[in-house]
A = this chain, B = another copy of it.
């Protein structure tokens, strides 16, 4: 693995190997041990063209725990580029000694484009590009499912509910769930928020939230960007919550041991109710913790491959 651009590029064994390593880092953290520091002396650059304090912080903590020097290069709020091309920005940071770049950009495919022009020794991690992919989020979601449901996903029914159309999180989850041979992948969203059918191969499209949740082992709900309302794709937050929000009543349709996931940040009362978010079936904070562990595993794997 030279870069991590999308989970589409990773075979099942590759995903499982990363999850295994991440599980190890998670256990090290819980044990309170000082971790090994395989990135000592390495420079990780957080190159964010879209602001994201949350994802950036998760990568920053992961890299620092591995001993790396971290440089935050926030292009969203900086005038650093002043007309410079994206590739020149990358070349400049490579020339300063940057080795691993964690890149977020609002435009689909930009990170893959940088992978074509970067130096031979450079490693890129896609931290979210447009609506395309957010592979470390996909991995942390799989790790969270695995911790609760075991390694064999073939008997699981996973429901993804919400704005799948605009979600890079959902796309990476779909790639990973398929790669891990998940028993049933259900997708449910208002029509305007469903993706093109070509993206849903192998998925069961459900016409409403209840039928998606019924009997599911895993209920993943997605953040609803408020822009969707401004764009007229959603009539009102109240109606959305009534029809698509995960409430205790709706969750009661799922298996009794079903888990509920959300990539955060949550809009409480829009896509999820307080009682579910804070309830015993919620694994939302585990997702965040697993995020740091997954990013440690990815950073380590990329350095080992260098």
Q: Which residues of A contact B (CB under 8 A)?
A: 29, 34, 40-41, 43, 51-54, 57-58, 60-61, 64-65, 69, 71, 73-75, 77-85, 88-89, 91-97, 226, 264-268, 285-289, 291-292
Using Cβ atoms and an 8 Å threshold, which residues of chain B touch A266? Answer: 84-85, 88
CA distance A266 to B57 in the complex (A): 30
- The answer to whether A69 touches B64 (Cβ under 8 A) is yes
Q: Which chain B residue has the least Cβ–Cβ distance from A288? A: B95
**Chain B proximity of A152: nearest CB distance (Å):** 26
**Which DSSP category, helix, strand, loop or mixed, fits chain A's interface?**
mixed
Q: Which chain B residue has the least Cβ–Cβ distance from A51? A: B79
CA distance A74 to B51 in the complex (A): 12
- The answer to whether B43 touches A61 (Cβ under 8 A) is yes
Q: Which chain B residue has the least Cβ–Cβ distance from A93? A: B57
CA distance A292 to B64 in the complex (A): 21
Copies of this chain, tallied across the complex: 3
5 closest Cβ pairs, A-B complex? A53-B80, A95-B288, A84-B265, A95-B285, A53-B78
Q: Which chain B residue has the least Cβ–Cβ distance from A94? A: B285
CB-defined A-B contacts under 8 Å, sample of 12: A53-B73, A53-B78, A57-B73, A61-B71, A82-B265, A83-B265, A84-B266, A85-B268, A88-B268, A89-B265, A96-B291, A96-B292
**Chain B proximity of A209: nearest CB distance (Å):** 21
- The answer to whether A91 touches B265 (Cβ under 8 A) is no
Q: Which of B51, B74, B267, B289 contacts A83 (CB 8 A)?
A: B267
CA distance A69 to B84 in the complex (A): 30
Using Cβ atoms and an 8 Å threshold, which residues of chain B touch A286? Answer: 95
CA distance A190 to B77 in the complex (A): 33
Given the interface contacts A264-B88, A265-B88, A266-B88, does A80 sit within 8 Å of B95 by beta carbon? Answer: no
Add 20 more A-B contacts to A53-B80, A60-B71, A77-B77 (CB < 8 A).
A29-B97, A43-B61, A57-B96, A58-B96, A61-B97, A64-B69, A80-B265, A81-B265, A83-B226, A83-B265, A83-B267, A84-B264, A84-B267, A85-B266, A88-B268, A94-B285, A95-B286, A95-B288, A96-B291, A97-B292
Using Cβ atoms and an 8 Å threshold, which residues of chain B touch A77? Answer: 77
CA distance A54 to B47 in the complex (A): 12
CA distance A75 to B43 in the complex (A): 26
CA distance A292 to B78 in the complex (A): 20
